[in-house]
Structure 1
Amino acid sequence: MFIFDAHLDLAMNAMEWNRDLRWSVAQIRESEHGMTDKPDRGKNTVSFDAMRKGNIGLCVATQIARYVKPENNLPGWNSPQQAWAQTQGQLAWYKSMEEDGLLRQITNKAQLNTHLENWENNKENTPIGYILSLEGADSIVNLDYLEKSFEQGLRAVGPAHYGPGTYAFGTDSIGGIGIKGKELLKKIQSLNIILDATHLCDQSFWETMKVYEGPIWASHNNCRKFVNHNRQFSDEQLLELIDRKAVIGMALDAWMMVPNWQRGKSTPEQKGVTLEHMVQNIDHICQLAGNSFHVGIGTDLDGGFGKEQSPMDLDTIADLQHIPQLLANRGYGSDDISNIMNRNFINFLRHTWA
């Protein structure tokens, strides 16, 4: 089945992990043998080859660079200008992969429809399609930079990532959106950029909902019902997104899938983490909505973690192909499964870009 993955940090892996995604997953793992600078060395799950084997022909691919003020202990850049430069390096990598015939940027409805038709008719010779998204808006020095990014093809923005940000507060922090955040939201809406609600802390989330009226999705965000942490959405938040015709992508980071995960200590085998936990989250959103129109796949695979923090029945991203059968086992029909695996996000884009 064709798969749309709504969140992959491809450029981050290329530019910060120094992974050549043109290699196979096995080749990347071998190249990292013995490296200890990051906990996921030698445990990656994503490459272009693996995406093709899994029929993942379309994804949302990120730019990401955090600006941190002196009192912020999170890793990041010391100025928004440095963060901007990092995102520009990531964009240069995407463009290089386009020139190499491996990726194709999708920015409008006509390009989307053409890509899907080409992939269906001649998959072997069609580059993987990607929609450019910015995870955390700290690199937007001022709103002129957002216009520059839009001209470069940026089509989705998450105002915050982890901690306090320039425009909103993210995971593991508390605070609202303020004047700058409201100005950013107004500009996002005027440009018809998709707002990604992922990572917004509760206060910033609800303040955003009061002032923002444009297109909104959550690219990679699971359910608080199963893991009671601010990184997940409560049922109240999920219902708000459903009412706004959003689509919520389910992520595969193990700590977001089972409670009481201890980073660096817990293992998927210990905790019994499998793709069934993703399906559990999918089903919960379908039950809340009363239909299958508001949930999709947003794996976040290789988003700073690898097999050490992924479902134990997933070796590479190609194993997403097991999900349709798991959904069928729960009684989901073919139309519902297609909605979840690709159609919901595709229809969202067609409507937003109409």
Structure 2
Amino acid sequence: MFLVDGHLDLSMNALEWNRDLTLPLADVRRWELGKSDKVDRAKGVCTFPEMRRGQIGLCIATQIARYVAEGNSLPGWHAPEIAWAQTQGQLAYYRAMERAGEMKQIVDRAGLLQHVELWQNNPPADAPIGYVLTLEGADSIVDLSYLEMAWASGLRCIGPAHYGPGRYSPGTGAEGGLTIAGRELVKEMGRYGFCLDATHLTDDAFWEALSLWSGPVWASHQNCRALVPHQRQFSDEQLKELIRRDAVIGGAFDAWMMVPNWIRGKTTPQETGCKIETIALHIDHVCQLAGTARHCAIGSDLDGGYGTEQTAMDLDSIADLQQIAPILEKRGYSQPDIAGIMHGNWIRKLADSLPK
């Protein structure tokens, strides 16, 4: 079944992990054997051939570059301008992949529907993978004048927060609401027509951002706090507010977000019994809150700084996301609801949100 993935850090993997995503997965892993600079070396799961094998013909793909002030121990860049330059390098990677025929940028509704038609009607084996460009964490927006350049480059969604303190919003592991600049950012995003990704916002920033926002919103890679108690997950109240705004919520496959009591760097998928079917618990929970499957989708975040050491124990490749459909069928989901979760809900939301 055609599958849309709502969150993939493809350019980050290429530029910071030095992964050639055009290669077979086995070759990427072989190149990384013996390397220890990243915890997930030789454990990645995502390449373009594997996406095609899994019929993942469309994704929301990131630019990401964190600014870190003195004293911030998180990895990142020491000036907003450097962070901006990093995102532009990531954009250059996507452009190179377009020239190579590997990818196709989606910037408007007409392009979206044309690409979906291609992938739903026996696409050729080398069909380009469509991508909608999103910015994960807004630190690289040097000032609000940069939004014009970002929009012109095809950026269509911004998540103000990522991890830790941020120039516009604190994120996972931090506290507090939007900064003064963050409030202005949210307002200006609405003027251009960007979508708002609520993922990674602190509780205070979440409610503040939505109080200022009337445009399209989603949570690209977000699981449920009721099942995995941690600030990174959203509470039922937050999920209900997103549902009220007709958002789509993409189930994430980072294992520490799938099962409780995970200690990163220590816990293993085998110890917790985390499997692909575990995501169905989060999907079920959102469906129960909503009374419909309309708001559930996939936002895998696979290879988002981790590999097989921190995902479902039965997932060896991103192509294994195809197992979600039969898992949902066994749980009693109808075929229309399964199709919605696999692709239809993202397509509907994107079609409603992208410029005509």
For the criterion TM > 0.5, the same-fold answer is: yes
3-state DSSP class of the match of 2:134?
strand
3-state DSSP class of the match of 1:60?
strand
Return the offset for 1:271.
Answer: 0.8
In the alignment, structure 1 residue 344 sits paired with structure 2 residue 345: yes
Q: What RMSD, in angstroms, separates the aligned Cα atoms of the two structures?
A: 0.8
Within 1, Cα distance between the matches of 2:216 and 2:228? Answer: 27
Match of 2:41 in 1: 41
Aligned residues: 354
Within 2, Cα distance between the matches of 1:166 and 1:205? Answer: 15
When normalised by structure 2's length, the TM-score is: 0.98
Return the offset for 1:144.
Answer: 1.2
Return the offset for 1:318.
Answer: 0.3
Within 2, Cα distance between the matches of 1:258 and 1:42? Answer: 24
Match of 2:9 in 1: 9
Moved more, 158-167 or 121-130: 121-130
Q: Deviations over 1:94-139 (max 9, x none)?
A: 0000000000000000000111112233512421100000000000
Q: Deviations over 1:293-331 (max 9, x none)?
A: 001000000000000001011110000110001001110
Question: Residue type of the partner of 1:99?
Answer: R
Within 1, Cα distance between the matches of 2:259 and 2:78? Answer: 34
In the alignment, structure 1 residue 32 sits paired with structure 2 residue 21: no
Question: Residue type of the partner of 2:178?
Answer: I
Match of 1:223 in 2: 224
Q: Which runs of 4+ in 1 moved over 6 A?
A: none
3-state DSSP class of the match of 2:297?
strand
Give the percent of matched residue pairs that are identical in Structure 1 and Structure 2. Answer: 57
Match of 1:99 in 2: 99
Within 1, Cα distance between the matches of 2:241 and 2:148? Answer: 28
Question: Residue type of the partner of 2:129?
Answer: I
Return the offset for 1:261.
Answer: 0.8
Q: Deviations over 1:254-283 (max 9, x none)?
A: 011111111111110111000111111011
Within 2, Cα distance between the matches of 1:168 and 1:318? Answer: 34
Within 1, Cα distance between the matches of 2:78 and 2:131? Answer: 29
Q: Deviations over 1:185-242 (max 9, x none)?
A: 0111111111000000111111112111111000001000111100000000000000
Question: Residue type of the partner of 2:207?
Answer: W
Question: Residue type of the partner of 2:90?
Answer: Q
3-state DSSP class of the match of 1:229?
coil
Within 2, Cα distance between the matches of 1:122 and 1:325? Answer: 21
3-state DSSP class of the match of 1:18?
coil
Q: Deviations over 1:139-186 (max 9, x none)?
A: 000111111011000011000100110111100101111321111001
Question: Residue type of the partner of 2:347?
Answer: I
Match of 2:280 in 1: 279
Match of 1:298 in 2: 299
When normalised by structure 1's length, the TM-score is: 0.99
Match of 1:134 in 2: 135
Match of 1:325 in 2: 326
| Conservation of the 8 A alpha-carbon contact between 2:46 and 2:318 | yes
Match of 1:266 in 2: 267
Unaligned ranges ≥5, structure 1: none
| Conservation of the 8 A alpha-carbon contact between 2:167 and 2:179 | no
Return the offset for 1:28.
Answer: 0.4
Return the offset for 1:74.
Answer: 1.1
